[in-house]
């Protein structure tokens, strides 16, 4: 940090950026980056910084997140073709999953049936519902 502070002091005194950068063995791009950080944040900006990315993804995957391998895709396709040959509808299960209730829909139904009608009994709510399968949001 002391060396960076000496660098900033010399630049602020009016010495040419090119000359000071050459003497300190850094590029002009790095020199201007340090100078701009110092102007924006003060001496704290001259401390070492982590090179780790500043943001982490807050997304969470609930299902498989990888692409199928060729062998997995081939096996899945063979199963679908076999089901179609046996007279089954391969898309029926997928469509049924898409029609399943989401958590948001469940909460809205709870509000409407239980809280909206003046009732507050969870038992009464569960008796009024035919939930069927509940699917995660965005899946299907």
What is each CA distance from 61 to 1, 7, 16, 94, 105, in whole angstroms? 42, 47, 52, 20, 21
- Higher-pLDDT residue of 102 and 121 is 102
Tens digit of each residue's pLDDT (9 = 90 or more) over 22-58? 999 999 999 999 999 899 888 888 887 777 766 655 6
Which region, left, alpha or beta, applies to residue 119 given φ > 0 means left and ψ of -120 to 50 means alpha?
beta
60-64, 85-89, 101-105, 133-137: the lowest-pLDDT one? 133-137
pLDDT of residue 47: 83
Kindly report the pTM of this predicted structure.
0.38
Alpha helices in 16-101 (DSSP H): 17-24, 28-41, 70-85, 90-99
Could you tell me what percent of the chain has a pLDDT over 90?
A: 21
Going by pLDDT thresholds of 50, 70 and 90, the confidence category of residue 11 is very high
pLDDT of residue 63: 59
Q: Per-residue pLDDT averaged across 101-129, rounded?
A: 67
pLDDT of residue 13: 92
């Amino acid at each position: 940090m002391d060396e960076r502070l000496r660098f900033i002091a010399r630049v602020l005194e009016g010495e040419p950026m090119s000359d000071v950068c050459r003497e300190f063995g850094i590029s002009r791009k790095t020199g201007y980056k340090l100078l701009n950080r110092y102007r924006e944040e003060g001496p704290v900006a001259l401390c070492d910084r982590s090179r780790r990315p500043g943001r982490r993804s807050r997304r969470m995957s609930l299902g498989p997140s990888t692409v199928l391998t060729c062998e997995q895709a081939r096996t899945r396709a063979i199963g679908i073709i076999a089901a179609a040959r046996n007279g089954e509808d391969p898309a029926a299960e997928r469509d049924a999953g898409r029609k399943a209730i989401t958590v948001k829909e469940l909460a809205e139904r709870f509000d409407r049936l239980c809280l909206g009608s003046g009732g507050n009994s969870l038992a009464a709510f569960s008796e009024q519902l035919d939930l069927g399968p509940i699917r995660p949001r965005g899946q299907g």
